[in-house]
Chains A and B, each alone.
Chain A
């Protein structure tokens, strides 16, 4: 069975500061990892994903995440956040065999001016 733990339910941060949203997973098989973002009153949108290859993956809006197999982590980082990054961020895992995703509980990123 797979599980995802997002250690922080809320992360307040000032604009232009760096941020890290933590995600740890457990799985007995190889995994595929995802970060989704949910803006208020909207559905989830894929932010970035790790399927294979380079362990550092990046999104078009400045976020990046690094797959660390030994620490079973996939933390999300951004060196300088904007007000528009305020949203809820979900880490998710799939083992590939079962196509559905297992989501973490989410981290609410609150960017303050």
Chain B
């Protein structure tokens, strides 16, 4: 398996622009997670899905952030409008529920820079 795939790997945009990050989970995994990593706040969970349904979005910073999972093989995280403080590395991870807790497999991340 190719693992979790994220695109783009790097994104540089200007404040106010819309940004869309994409994720393809590992085939057969039923959980998908979006995390954000910054120096100041470390790794933060933004939202996670189970069988394409959002379960917990309490980590989404504000209304400018939205995430969708239209099918089992694709998810997007959208920021509109983007702000400089959104600059971070965004990770997608997927897992398969096994024995109650599944190992999470992380993608390589998208490094977002908002100027």
- Chain A residues with a Cβ under 8 A of chain B: 32, 34, 36, 41-46, 49, 51, 90, 94, 96, 98-106
Closest-by-CB residue of B relative to A94 is B101
Cβ contacts B73-90/A at 8 Å (1 or 0 each): 000000000000000000
Q: Is the CB of A46 within 8 A of B104?
A: yes
Contact (Cβ within 8 A) B107 A96 = no
- Cβ–Cβ contact A99 & B91, under 8 A: no
Residues of A within 8 A of B100 (CB): 32, 51, 96
- Chain B residues with CB under 8 Å of A102's CB are 45
Is the CB–CB distance between A100 and B101 below 8 Å?
A: no
What B residues does A105 contact at CB under 8 A? 42
| Beyond A42-B109, A99-B102, 20 additional pairs, beta carbon < 8 A | A32-B100, A32-B101, A36-B106, A43-B4, A43-B106, A43-B107, A43-B108, A44-B43, A44-B106, A51-B100, A51-B101, A96-B100, A99-B31, A99-B50, A99-B101, A100-B33, A100-B48, A103-B42, A105-B42, A106-B42
Total interface residues on B, CB under 8 Å, equals 25
Question: Is residue B12 within 8 Å, beta carbon to beta carbon, of the partner chain?
Answer: no
Q: Are A98 and B106 CB-contacts (below 8 A) given A44-B91, A51-B99, A90-B43?
A: no
B104 and A101 contact, CB distance less than 8 A = yes
Listed by A's residue number, 25 A-B pairs whose Cβ atoms lie within 8 Å are A32-B101, A41-B108, A43-B4, A43-B106, A43-B107, A44-B93, A44-B104, A46-B104, A49-B103, A51-B99, A51-B100, A90-B43, A96-B100, A99-B48, A99-B50, A99-B55, A99-B97, A100-B45, A100-B48, A101-B45, A101-B104, A103-B42, A104-B42, A105-B42, A106-B43
CA distance A100 to B46 in the complex (A): 10
Write out the residue numbers on chain B whose beta carbons fall within 8 Å of the beta carbon of A49.
103
In the assembled complex, the Cα of A36 lies from the Cα of B43 at a distance in Å of 12
